[in-house]
């Protein structure tokens, strides 16, 4: 939709929402990149690393459909890493 196609009253709200979405997308993308680097650096078995990587891929896929939910899931994953718990694969 081009700017000229939008109703005039919705411009500010849509721009703010788009900016917030873009900011969240950038944050999630950077946090995913950091989480992948942390998983690669862990001294764990190949099976554990594979399970952790799959968890991150699930978050990546979820971000395509529901970015806020993916951000929350990624935050839980990182919190588990920070506390020394190795998060396993998450369901659905």
Question: Taking Cα atoms as reference points, which of 11, 74, 13, 14 lies closest to residue 39?
Answer: 74
**What does the block give as tokens for 1?**
């939709």
Domain with 67, as residue range(s), is 45-85
H helix intervals, the chain? 11-41, 46-65, 67-82
Q: In this structure, is residue 11 part of a structural domain?
A: no
Average pLDDT by consecutive 10-residue portion of the chain (92 residues)? Answer: 55 78 92 96 93 95 94 95 75 40
The total of structural domains in the chain comes to 1
pTM for the full predicted model: 0.73
Q: In this structure, is residue 62 part of a structural domain?
A: yes
Q: In this structure, is residue 51 part of a structural domain?
A: yes
Q: In this structure, is residue 6 part of a structural domain?
A: no
Q: In this structure, is residue 74 part of a structural domain?
A: yes
Task: Give Cα 72 distance to the centre of its chain.
Answer: 8
Q: In this structure, is residue 20 part of a structural domain?
A: no
């Amino acid at each position: 939709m081009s700017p000229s196609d939008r109703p005039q009253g919705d411009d500010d709200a849509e721009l703010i929402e788009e900016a917030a979405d873009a900011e969240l997308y950038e944050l999630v993308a950077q946090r995913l990149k950091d989480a992948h680097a942390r998983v690669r650096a862990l001294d764990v078995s190949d099976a554990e690393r594979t399970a952790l990587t799959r968890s991150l891929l699930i978050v990546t896929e979820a971000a395509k459909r529901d970015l806020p939910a993916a951000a929350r899931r990624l935050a839980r994953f990182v919190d588990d890493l920070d506390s020394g718990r190795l998060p396993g694969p998450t369901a659905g």
